[in-house]
Structure 1
Amino acid sequence: MVGEFFSKRPNLFLLDSQNHILASLNSVSAGVYIVPSLRPPDSSAPNAPILSSQEIESRYLVLEKAAAFQKEKQSLHREIRDKIKKCEKYRLKHTQELQQLEKWKDFQEEGELIQANLFRIKKGMASLEVEDWFHAGQLRVLTFDIHEEPAERIAQLFRQAKKRKGGIERCQAQLIQASIDLEQWESALVLAEKAVMEVDLQNIRNKWLLHRPAEKQKETIALPFFEYQSEVGLKIWVGKGAKQNERLTFSYAKGSDWWLHVRDFPGAHVVIRVAKGQRPDRESLKDAFQLALAYSKAKNQGKAEILLTQCKHVSRFGRKKIGQVHVSSHEIFLESFDSERFQKIKNRKIK
């Protein structure tokens, strides 16, 4: 009988003289018992030092720093390569643009040839063969649009020539700057590849004004409205301008919010924020009326009519008429500006 007590699956075997398995505590597929192999010898040195927890932590810290450095180095490489690609793109763009601008003479010469042969051009003529004195008197065929007056064509060619010639100096300067920037970023890439310490990477970032992703400040999106609070705590939003009015009404306000605007006068959209199904209280409405008047051309007109409706009844008037809206259902209130009340509301301005 053989017992295995230190394997993953302990078992008892009843064997014959030839190690054939006659019976076993747990069933096995093999018919012959094979003695388990011996444990491989310990490959570690007999006198290997046992590391303390502090030493282990120190070694791992070194490895972590090395890994972090490589990650930071790769990140810097990517940033610089992106800058190089952009510079190459800009340089190609300005090179191609300069090639087009330098063709200004073609437009100038064509305009002068048409002008010199204007007396030969008849109405409805599509082309005319002329002597091109700009190119050793060679013959050249000038083409025309039969629906365009020759004088208009001449003026157009001279405008194109002047515009292209005037853009050459600007384009040359941009091309030179793109080449300088490209050379600088290529130098930065060489330094980044040679960097062996964190301070090397930081010096490169400081010199070329590159910042770690974590250091980039999040751009704060300016809200399109001023925010006030009524006496009972309701938020009242007031649009800052035509484009901001549109963003306020159609991007920030909900359909159940209440919308106000002075009738027949330019002014801000005013929105009162309320819970769905609720109507603002009378005092909050009065505050909103004052804000609508204060941010409109009707402020000094005595009494003015103010439209009140829910935002769901307000729709865009047209894409070209930014800030102008159509109101399908509304109430009208006749109100006058109250400077004292407005001052109190200003004290409750949130942002």
Structure 2
Amino acid sequence: MAFDGITIANIVKELNDTILDGRINKIAQPEADELLLTIKTPSRQLRLCISASASLPLIYLTQENKPSPMTAPNFCMLLRKYINNGRIVAISQPKLERIIHIDIEHLDELGDLCRKTLIVEIMGKHSNIIFCNHEGMIIDSIKHVSAQMSSVREVLPGRTYFIPDTMKKEDPLTVGQDAFIEELTTKPMPLGKAIYSSFTGVSPVVAEEICYLAGMDSDISPKELDTDLLSHLYRQFTYYFEQVKNNEFTPCIYYSGTEPKEFSSLPLTHFSDYRKETMDSISQVLKTYYASRDAITRIRQKSADLRRIVQTALERNRKKYDLQQKQLKDTLNREKYKVYGELLHTYGYNLKEGAKELEALNYYTNEMIKIPLDSNKTPQENAQKYFDKYNKQKRTFEALTSLIEETHDEITYLESISAALDIARGEEDLVQIKEELTESGYIRRKFTKKKVKITSKPLHYLSSDGYHMYVGKNNLQNDELTFHFANGNDWWFHAKGAPGSHVIVKSEGDELPDRTFEEAGRLAAHYSKNSNSQKVEIDYVEKKHVKKPNGGKPGFVVYYTNYSLVIDSDISGIKELD
């Protein structure tokens, strides 16, 4: 979720509550587009991190320091000259723009009290940090924007600062009902898009929430709504933004399993399918959200080569499987040719020379059938032709049946590796998956004396009743858990008919409570290909009934007796151990 005006309003409130009247003790510029201000207040010391990165603009409070370059950049030196030891006297947000003004009082060279403004613009690729005097003239900025770069506004020393109003949006905190309705009904677009296109600081997620609260489909056209419905929508809109006016923020993150999907400063009730985690501050939300997203993105980037290998092999095997199925379909009529041959042997003796067909009684079905003939061949030769065709298709059927089973097993195996890549949490997990692909022949092993070090371990959970539960993150771990770690009376869980993790519950010889069975089932559902389904069927059985087939690939097992349960994949209430 991009920073919207509501998130900025939440940050402004937090900054006013924490660093207002604080003094800027240290100014650093760790990156070309990032500032780190150390601020001392009477009660504590905080750091304000401000990033104008085009890919990830941020502003949040932190206790952590960052290493700075040996030589400070020019913009950092300029700020040190003017506002080092300056006092923060005001922090504000114009309208509901994604902009923060930080007013700082300082003494000039003559000892006179002066005021400067640090303006933080969190606007995606247009983000910037601009330093202005009290009259609004730009002294400098962390990014210079010339007329060649932007026809809307120059950001250069000596220019007057202004907020470009290119979209002509209304302020959601002050808009009246008539203006609200006029804005929406004049836009030929879906209702949700019309809302976030018409008002400053409103993101698509917030527009969706307002439509949801009003009980309306965000995809309908505003012109389809009558006056009463538009009035109702306006009331929901104002109720929602009343929370912003009153600074009633509840910063939170919404999770799908362990993956953070969205963050918000106000509740998002249309995210009812996600797990909500409320936090004390928006800074904590931003650090947690972006750290988690960054870790997930980094792992996905590092696993890209492995994914490409698996996906290429999957596509090749799926094409092979479809071709084999088509060839198998062509052999389904083989018994017909056998019957043709037998009937020709039985009735062909009285055929006239040059006959093109034989009409005879099929003594298998008691029906009359017509058998096409080659007029240049004798009845015996025609019969032999059909027997040869039958035998060829029979051999093809037997060979294809075995090949199709092998190809299907290969597809299932590759899908299990794909699922393992989805749940990989660190580079050590990728090392083990790469080793598995190497052992399976999908990656050529590089000849080196250095042995691959495997440090990845299964996931470890504790049930509500105190039983330890272990989840394999890939096929090698699944084999290790099931056939080396688990005892005969431990319980084994797996999603039915889908690639996924083996889950082992250490029973310690006890009869497990129903709640532990359910929690283990949820783990098996969550760490499977069917994790996005509302209900997942899980097979479970004592480990002693699970066998490894001869020559089976890693992670493949067979069992002939089992119990089943159907359960959701929500593991938010299950405690994970290190």
Report the TM-score when normalising by structure 2.
0.26
Taking CA–CA contacts closer than 8 Å with sequence separation of 6 or more, which of the two structures ends up with the larger relative contact order? 1
Q: Rg bigger for which structure? A: 1
Report the TM-score when normalising by structure 1.
0.41
